[in-house]
Amino acid sequence: MPKLPGIRHKDAIRVLEKVGWRVIREGKHTIMGKGTDALPIPRHNPINAITMGQIAKAAGLTPEQFRDLL
């Protein structure tokens, strides 16, 4: 069983906004920024579990922290 479930892209954006990331622009991906860092979030539902785990890791969150913020 994956540590993070596949979730909707809007839920992923909401969690990342809670920890300080902001939407920069939207297209095929939603690009979120924090300082000089940028993080692409695919705009399809659901985002699969492996991709979601990589997004959480790139944002500096463990899977458990990300899941708690859902």
Provide the whole-model pTM. 0.86
Long-range CB pairs of 54-58, under 8 A, 24+ apart, other chains included: 55/12, 56/4
Res 2: pLDDT: 54
CB 24 within 8 A of CB 58: no
Q: Which domains does the chain have, with CATH numbers?
A: 9-69 (3.30.920.30)
CB 4 within 8 A of CB 56: yes
At 1, the pLDDT band (50, 70, 90 cuts) reads: very low
5-64: per-residue pLDDT in tens? 778 999 999 999 999 999 999 999 999 999 999 999 999 889 988 889 899 999 999 888
